Amino acid sequence: MLVDALVDAIRLAVTAIPNDTVMALQRAYEEEESEIARFNLENILKAIEIGRKRSIPVCQDTGTLTFFVRAGAESPYLGSMKEAIEEAVRRATLKVPLRPNAVDPLTGGNSGDNTGKGIPIIHWEITEGDGIEIAILPKGGGSENCSALAMLTPSDGWEGLKRFVLARVRTCGGKPCPPLILGIGVGGGAETSLELAKRAILRRIGERHSNPRIAQLEGELLETVNSLGIGPMGMGGKTTALDVKIEVAHRHPASFPVGLVVQCWANRRAFVEIKADGRVRFWQ
């Protein structure tokens, strides 16, 4: 039951782009003035429709799978969850199918089933209770290659963050397949900021941070990124990014870590809740 539920959630993530993302892409198409930008957005929307109707991956690069597991300490499935996730990835590789994307960094050999040392990536959070919630994030290589870490100084602060993000987006241009969703993590240490950034892109398009100052910064960055004119697939246009998301953690007084995670237009995600009695719920 557990493995089957996870396979279904992986299939949902890679074949059905969430409605909030689809609506944002449709708005971008309607507001776009550039003919080539409209052409690119039209093809993106067609690919999304085909993926949903035929239950096939929206993009040939089904990415590296990251799982964010929020598990109740009393869940009867907690002890077997890691093995279940790994087996679900193996099965999904064959059944969905997923492109094999797990390569040994020393030999270059591909495992063939999207598993290997440290793959799939699993982040754990243990809570009270007996339920489990899992967020699944398939992340393509092109957009992941544009993710970056900046260990700024406190004097750089938020203005330094803006300069870093804009410079990185400008440098990457069309490589990460825009329109983009930008996740930004601030604080903690190097690894914490990047994890926060990856968690940030799980939020719905248009959902602003609960802190008004951070919400304002998200909006300002979105407007500035879109002023770059990179546009859909890097060929010019009004929409370079669909949204900017920021998450924060406390930091050391001497450092200002900023993690940037870039997501492509194929903003894939799925969530699954597994109750102690075996009931399962999916959403995006």
Contact 244, 221 (CB under 8 A): yes
Q: What are phi and psi of 65, to 5 degrees?
A: -90, 125
Distance CA(175)–CA(194), nearest Å, equals 20
Is residue 72 a contact partner of residue 129, using CB atoms and an 8 Å limit?
yes
- In percent, how much of the chain has pLDDT > 90? 100
Question: Is pLDDT above 90 for 1?
Answer: no
Local structure of 134: helix, strand or coil: strand
In the chain, % helix, strand, coil (3-state, to 5) comes to 40, 25, 35
- For the entire predicted model, the pTM comes to 0.96
Mean pLDDT on 63-91: 97
Give the rounded percent of residues in the chain with a pLDDT score beyond 70: 100
Q: pLDDT tens digits, residue range 185-204? A: 999 999 999 999 999 999 99
Q: For residues 162 and 282, what is the distance between their CA atoms, to the nearest angstrom?
A: 36
Domains of the chain: 2-13+58-140+268-283 (3.30.1330), 142-263 (no CATH)
How many other CB atoms are found less than 10 A from the CB of residue 103? 13
Is the per-residue pLDDT at 136 higher than 90? yes
Beta strand ranges found along 114-225 (DSSP E): 121-127, 132-139, 148-152, 180-188
> Average pLDDT of 69-87?
97
Mean pLDDT along residues 264-283: 97
| Inter-CA distances, 161 with 209, 217, 218, 256, 260, Å | 17, 10, 12, 9, 10
pLDDT of residue 77: 96
* Strand-strand pairing, 121-127 and 64-72: parallel
Give the model's pLDDT for residue 83: 98
Please, what sign has the CA dihedral across residues 13, 271, 185, 245? Answer: positive
Between helix 157-172 and helix 212-226 the angle, nearest 10°, is 30
pLDDT tens per residue across span 140-180: 999 999 999 999 999 999 999 999 999 999 999 999 999 99
pLDDT per residue over 239-268, tens digit each? 999 999 999 999 999 999 999 999 999 999
The first and second tokens of residue 138, run together, are: 């398939």
The Cα–Cα gap between 275 and 133 comes to 9
Q: What single letter denotes the amino acid at residue 241? A: A
pLDDT of residue 216: 98
Q: How far apart are CA 120 and CA 123, in angstroms?
A: 10
- Average of per-residue pLDDT across 216-239: 98
Tell whether the model's pLDDT for residue 103 goes beyond 90: yes
